[in-house]
Amino acid sequence: MTYNHNSTLPEELVEQIAEQGFDYLPELIRIMINAAMQAERQKHLGVGPYERSQERRDYANGYKSKTMKTRMGEITFDVPQVREGDFYPQALEKGLRSERALTLSLAEMYVQGVSTRKAAAIVEQLCGSGVSSSQVSKATTQLDEKPNQWRNSPLGEVVYLYLDARYEKVRQDGQIRDAAVLIAVGVGPDGKRKVLGVSVSLGEQEVHWRAFMESLVKRGLRGVHTNGA
């Protein structure tokens, strides 16, 4: 699996976001790999869910928990089982071998927004075959909940606030355009750095900054010493 270099955000910025911004990333990794393993089992069975067909090769038989060590700590996955035959999904090992690329793709999705198309593309890379929108719809819903929680999470006291603006190339409607990427990094009373928010816009810079700062204040940002990067 490779990171999509045609995405809006540069790889080094996505790495920063992944390392400092998202406590939810282990959960996103679990959701995506679980979805890919389920798609693999469905392909192995040869039929759709609850479908009666002579093409059926086996039957689903629940899940078995398996805890794996990752760079972000231990993650417990739900490994699909079948009644008969020799089946073991490849998505689990493949996802962990390409953990960095998977993490970057999920961090990018956090900022840009979750879509069925993006989720399906990741699942297809993990399981090695095409998947339908219905196969990833549940995962897409679960993924969409996490960015919303992060964007609206309370901030509280921040000792230092670092603001940065970058201009990156964005593909929109088949055209390459310049977009402003705003990022706020805070240092809390405990001395730890954390990405507080990221915003991408093609609109007017002043309006973009104002809206971005207002969103941080609404989340309870207080007690800061501002530093422009």
Whole-angstrom Cα distance, residue 146 to residue 97?
A: 24
pLDDT confidence of residue 79: 95
C-beta separation of 182 from 152 below 8 A: no
For residue 191, give both structure tokens.
Answer: 């001395």
pLDDT-based confidence at residue 220 (cuts at 50, 70, 90): very high
Instruction: Give me the chain's average pLDDT, please.
Output: 81
For residue 80, give both structure tokens.
Answer: 């699909």
C-beta separation of 140 from 134 below 8 A: no
- Whole-model pTM? 0.73
* Terminal Cα-to-Cα distance of the chain (whole angstroms): 33
Is the per-residue pLDDT at 97 higher than 50?
yes
The least confident of 51-60, 94-103, 131-140, 220-229 is: 220-229
More confident residue, 215 or 204: 215
Residue ranges per domain, the chain? 11-151, 160-228
Element spanning 117, H or E: helix 116-127
Whole-angstrom Cα distance, residue 107 to residue 147?
A: 9
| Structure confidence by residue, pLDDT tens digits, 181-211 | 888 989 989 888 888 888 888 766 788 889 9
Whole-angstrom Cα distance, residue 36 to residue 126?
A: 6
